[in-house]
Chain A
Amino acid sequence: MFFLLRTLPGDLASLKLGVDANPEALTQVRQEFGLDQSLVAQYIEWISDAARGDLGVSMLTGADISQEILNKATVTLPLIGLASVLAILFAVPLGMYSALNFRNRRGIGVSAASQLGIAIPTFWVGVILITIFSVKFQILPSGGFPDEGWSSWVICLESLILPSTTLALGQGAILMRFARSATIDVIQQDFFRTARSTGLSRSQALRIHGIRNAIVPVISVLGVQIATLIVGAIIVESVFSLPGIGQMLLQDVGIRDYTKVQGTVAATTAAVFFVSFLIDAIIALINPKARTSQ
C-alpha cells in the first residue's frame, strides 16, 4: 500500500506547494518530508515510526495524524461497537427462530428476510430510516454529532441510534444466516437429542446447549466481517454526516492528502488484525473445544 501511494504520478512536494512554486521551496519541502531519500529508506522510517504509534503529520495541514485518528475514533468506535451488539441481539434469536421453524412458513419467511437484507444497500437503509424517523416523525436527528463530544452523552447516543441501526441491519442479515445453520447443526446433534429425552422442552434444551454452540460461529463470522463493518462505518458516517474516521478518510481522498490516507488505512488495517485476534480469544473463552485445537 505504501509503495502504491508513493509511486504515483506527480511530485508530492509540488502538490503541496502548487504547480508554480519556486525550486528552493520545493527542495526544502522534499527534505522536510524525507522525499529526497530512496523509497525503501522512506518506507523503513515510516514503518518504524508507525510501530511506535507515530503516523507522522498530514502533508497538507501539518496536523498530527495519530492524534486526529484518536479524536475521530471517539465517534467511529462507539458506532461500530453499538452496531455489533445490536446485530448480535437481533441476528441470534431470529436465526434460531428460523432454524426451529425451518420447515414451515414462518421460518422460511425469516430467512427470506435475511436474503433481502443482504441485497439492500447500506446507504439506502440509512436514507429510508432518515425519511421515517427524522423527516416524518422528527424524533431522531438526521445526522451530525455534537461538537463538544461525549461530555453531552445523551445527544451523542441519540445521534448514534439511527447510524448504528443502519449498520446493524446489514450486518445482522449476514450473521443470521450463520446463526440459523449453526442452530440447525446443533438440533441434529446427539447431545441435543439426549437433552430432549431427559424431559427438557425444546426451548429449555436450546437455552442450555444451543445458544453456546450457536453463538461461536456467529462471533467468528463477526470477526471475519470486521473489515466489512469498517467499510460499513465509512458509508454510514457519510450518510449521517458523522465526523468519524470514515468521513475523514473520504475527505482526505478528496483533497489527496496522501500521508493521511496512508496513515488512516494503516491504522485501520492494524485495528482489523487486533480485533480478529481479540475475537479468537473470546471464542476460546466461550468454547472449550477451540482451546485445545490450534
Chain B
Amino acid sequence: MNQNRNLFFGLIMVGFSAGTALLSVLWTPYDPLEINPDVSLAKPSWSHLLGTDVLGRDVLSNLLVGSRTTLITAFLVVIIAMAMGVTAGISTALLPKRVSRAAIYAIDIVLALPAVLFAIVLAAIYGPSTFTAVIAIGVATSAAVAQVTRREVTVILNSDYVVAARACNSSKTRVVLRHILPNIRASLFVQASGAAAIAILAESTLSYLGLGTTPPAPSWGRMLASSQQYLIIDPIVALWPGLAIIVTVLGFNLLGDGLRESLDPTLRKSRS
C-alpha cells in the first residue's frame, strides 16, 4: 500500500510540474517579462490569477516559465551526475584496488563538499550563471551516485553468476553490459530521482543568493528574493514560488522512495 502511495503522489507532483513546464512553451497568460507599472503588486484576480510582482509582471506566467528553467536545470544536473557518477562507480569497483584507492579518496572529498559551496567558488571564478550552477551541482551530486553505484557493483561482481560468466571467458565489457547495468538499473532510476530533488533545491538556493540563473530569465529562487523586499506590502507574492519548489522537490523525493520500494522486493515488508 505504502509504496504505491509514495509512487502515486510522486508521479502526480512531478507530472504536474512537468505539465506546467510544457504548458509554458505553448502558452502563458502574459509575457512573463512584460513590465506594467499600472498593476504593480496587484492582488490575485481574474485578470492576474496569482497577482503581479512589484514591476507589474504576471506571477503565474513567471511561475510557469520558471518551472521550465528549473526542470531543464534539474535534467542537465541529473545527466552530468549520472554520467560521471556511474562511470566513476563502475570503474572504481572494477579497477584493481591500488588504482581505485586514489579515485575513492577523491570521491570522498567531493562528497564532503556541499554543492552550494562549490557553486559559490565557481561563481567567484567564472561569474554567476546557470551554466556554472549546473556544473557545480552536477559534479557535487555525482560523488553520492558514484559511492552508491560502487557499493552495488561490488556486490554484483562477487555474485556467482558473474564468477560463472568470467569463467566462461566473458570480457569485462561484456560483464558490465550484460550483468551489471541491468542489475543496477532500478537503483539508477531511484538515484536520478533523488539527484533531481537535490538539484532543484540547490538551483533555487543559488538563484535566491544571486548566483544561479541570471536575470531577466524567470526563476523561482529569484522571484522569492525579489518578493522578500515587499513582504510588508504584499506577503502573498512570496508564497507561490516557495510552494512551487516544495511540490517539485517533494514530488521527486516521493517518486524516488516509491520507485525504491516497488523495484526492490526486499524493502516491501521491512521499514515504512
**Chain A residues packing against B (C-beta within 8 Å):** 1, 4-5, 8, 102, 108, 111, 115-116, 118-124, 127-128, 130-131, 135-136, 142, 181, 184, 227-228, 230-231, 234-235, 238-239, 249-250, 252-254, 256, 258, 261, 265, 268, 272
Contacts and interface: CB of A to CB of B under 8 A. Distances in A.
The 5 closest A-B pairs by CB, nearest first: A124-B242, A119-B250, A119-B249, A253-B124, A131-B235
A121 B204 contact: yes
13 contacts: A4-B121, A116-B246, A121-B205, A121-B249, A123-B205, A127-B224, A228-B114, A230-B114, A234-B120, A235-B208, A253-B123, A253-B124, A272-B112
Contact of B209 (A111, A128, A250): A250
B204 A127 contact: no
Nearest to B122: A4
Interface residues of B, number: 38
Nearest to B251: A119
B201 interface: yes
A11 to B, nearest CB: 14
A121 B126 CA distance: 26
Interface string B102-129: 0000000000111011001101111000
B253 interface: yes
Given A119-B249, A123-B208, 13 more contacts: A115-B254, A118-B253, A119-B245, A122-B205, A123-B221, A123-B224, A124-B245, A127-B228, A127-B238, A128-B242, A131-B238, A234-B117, A253-B120
B114 A127 contact: no
A130 B231 contact: yes
Nearest to A132: B235
Interface of B: 112-114, 116-117, 120-121, 123-126, 197, 201, 204-205, 208-211, 221, 224-225, 227-228, 231-232, 235, 238, 241-242, 245-246, 249-250, 253-254, 271-272
A256 B128 CA distance: 11
A8 B250 CA distance: 38
The CB with the most chain A CB atoms within 10 A, among B126, B235, B271, B272, is that of: B272
Contacts of B205: 121-123, 235
A268 B112 CA distance: 12
Nearest to B249: A119
Contact of B242 (A121, A234, A253): A121
A122 B209 CA distance: 12
B268 to A, nearest CB: 16
Nearest to A250: B209
A101 B113 CA distance: 36
Contacts of A121: 201, 204-205, 208, 221, 242, 245-246, 249
